[in-house]
Every structure is written in C-alpha cells, then in structure tokens.
C-alpha cells in the first residue's frame, strides 16, 4: 500500500517528493521482510523515479539497475518500465547510445506483455523517447503497437472500401 501511495505522490502536479521519498523508504523496509522479488523491484522503480526527480541520477541508476537485475528476465512490464527509466537516466547523463540500448530492451520486454493499458502506455512512452533520440522508424513501430496492446486490431487502409 505504501508503495502505491508513494507512486501516486510522485505523479501529482507538482510531485510531492519529500513525502513520496519517505513513504517509499518505509515501503522498501517492509518489503525486505515480507515482499516478493517483484514487489521489491516495483518499489525500487518508484524510489528510482523519486531519486531522478530530486536530481540524484546516480542513486536512480543504481536502484533501477539492481531492480532490473533482480527480476532476471521475469515480469516483462516492470522490466520494460525499468529499462525506460534507465534510458531516461542515460539520456539525461549525455549517453544517447546507452539510452537507445535501454529503450530497445524495453521494446523487447514489451513484446512479451499481453494486451492491457499498462503495455499501451509503455509503448506510447517508448515511442516518445525514441522520437527524442531521432529514432523515427522505431518510434513509429512502437506507436503502431499501442492499439494492439489495447486489443484493437485496425484494418489495413489498402483494404478499406476495396471492391470485390
């Protein structure tokens, strides 16, 4: 519950960083005792986001990298979110090649996620990040996967209105 509250505090405008950081630290402590690997990784994802908001890129990168490693290829949506965050950190740190590598890894992890709003949001976020890196073709592929992640399968335009 604390992890969710901390994440919601980070998403407010403006983010309530001090409160979110405190609550997420409490959540991390509790999850060390009773949480699953996924619970701890998701909490560390939020803690990494908070660290990045506070301007502590080094801590954000350490938390996100450790969380990603702990998942060992499981939990594709959380793994994708962690790769997106690591890409954001790399981009802000002036490492565009690393950012592109993390964003591509996020796309690979998303391919293992079924339909859902979380996957659609992640694909849209991936596309925006790829545009910022100048990767237009990859961004277009990611954007085209948003409707599929929502369970929508669009008819190709060449077949619409075609005579039989």
User: pLDDT, tens digit, for every residue of 13-33?
Assistant: 998 999 999 999 999 999 989
How distant, in Å, are the alpha carbons of 7, 77, 79, 93 from that of 72? 23, 13, 9, 25
Q: Which two tokens stand for residue 15?
A: 């983010």
Residues 28-63: tens digit of each pLDDT: 999 989 989 999 999 999 999 999 999 999 999 999
pTM: 0.84
Q: Which residue is associated with the tokens 């402590």?
A: 29
Measure the CA–CA gap between 64 and 92, rounded to whole angstroms.
15
Measure the CA–CA gap between 142 and 136, rounded to whole angstroms.
10
């Amino acid at each position: 519950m604390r992890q969710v509250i901390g994440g919601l505090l980070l998403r407010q405008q403006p983010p309530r960083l001090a409160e979110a950081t405190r609550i997420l630290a409490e959540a991390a402590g509790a999850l060390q005792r009773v949480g699953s690997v996924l619970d701890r990784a998701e909490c560390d994802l939020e803690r990494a986001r908070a660290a990045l908001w506070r301007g502590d890129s080094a801590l954000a990168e350490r938390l996100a990298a450790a969380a990603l490693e702990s998942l060992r290829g499981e939990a594709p949506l959380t793994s994708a979110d962690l790769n997106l965050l690591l890409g954001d950190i790399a981009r802000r740190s002036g490492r565009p090649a690393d950012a592109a590598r993390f964003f591509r890894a996020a796309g690979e992890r998303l391919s293992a996620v079924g339909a859902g709003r979380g996957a659609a949001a992640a694909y849209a976020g991936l596309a925006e990040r790829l545009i910022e890196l100048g990767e237009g073709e990859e961004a277009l592929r990611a954007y085209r996967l948003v409707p599929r992640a929502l369970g929508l399968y669009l008819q190709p335009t060449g077949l619409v209105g075609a005579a039989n």
